[in-house]
Amino acid sequence: MTTRFVLTPESAQFPSANFPQLTTIHSTERILVLAFDPTTQETCQWRGIAPQGVTGTWTAIITYAMASGVSGGVAFDVSVQAVSNGDALDIDASVSFDTVNGGSDASVPGTAGYIEQISITLNNMDSVSAGDWITFRVARDVADANDTAAGDAYVLSVEVRDGA
C-alpha cells in the first residue's frame, strides 16, 4: 500500500521571512497557488505524523505552472525533518532538517499557465519512521544553475508518497 500526503497551498505554513505568496489565479475559479519568486529563495512547509506502514524511498511530486516565464528551467528543493518521541530537539527553539533533496525541470512549459511536474526522490529523510512528527520544507532553488525561468512558479500541490 502506498502512503500519500497531498500538500495544498492553503495548508502551507510560512517562516517569518522569504516565503512564497499565497495567491489566486483564474479570475472566476480563484485557484489557490503558492507563487515562488524567481530571484529570492522562498520556503514554506507542511507538518504531519508519519503513518504506520511507511516503507521504502519516498518521492515528492511538485505540480506547478509558470506565471509568465515560458522558457528556461526551474529547480526546487525538498527538506525533511522527522522528530521521534523522546528525541533531544527543542522544537520551541530549533529545527533539524536532513540534507536537501533537489530536483529541476530543464524546460518549463512554453505557455504560461500550463501544468508541469517535477519528481524529486527523497533520499535524505532524517530517518523518518512511523509515528514521527514530520515537516516537509519546499523551496524554489533560485541559486541552482538550472533555475533560469523568469517569473513566478505557481505551485498547485506537492504530493509526497512512500515506496511501498
Q: What is the pLDDT of residues 104-154, one digit of tens each?
A: 999 999 999 999 999 999 999 999 989 999 999 999 999 999 999 999 999
| 3-state DSSP helix/strand/coil % of the chain, to nearest 5 | 0, 45, 55
Confidence of residue 90 (pLDDT cuts 50, 70, 90): confident
**pTM for this one?**
0.94
> For residues 77 and 102, what is the distance between their CA atoms, to the nearest angstrom?
4
Q: Is 72 in contact with 82 (CB distance < 8 Å)?
A: no
For the chain, which residues make up each domain, given as ranges? 4-161
Do the bridges between strand 58-66 and strand 115-122 make them parallel or antiparallel, or are there none, so unpaired? antiparallel
Quote the pLDDT of residue 56.
Answer: 79
pLDDT at 164: 53
C-alpha cell at 33: 497557488
Please report the pLDDT score of residue 142 as a whole number. Answer: 97
Which three cell numbers mark 70?
Answer: 515560458
What is the per-residue pLDDT for 77? 98
Which residues, 6+ apart, have CB-to-CB distance to 133 below 8 Å?
Answer: 47, 48, 49, 82, 83, 91
CATH class of 4-161: mainly beta
User: Identity (one letter) of the amino acid at 130?
Assistant: A
Residue percentage of the chain with pLDDT more than 70: 98
* pLDDT given for residue 1 in this prediction: 58
Q: How far apart are CA 29 and CA 27, in angstroms?
A: 6
d(CA 83, CA 63): 27
In this model, does residue 4 exceed pLDDT 80? yes
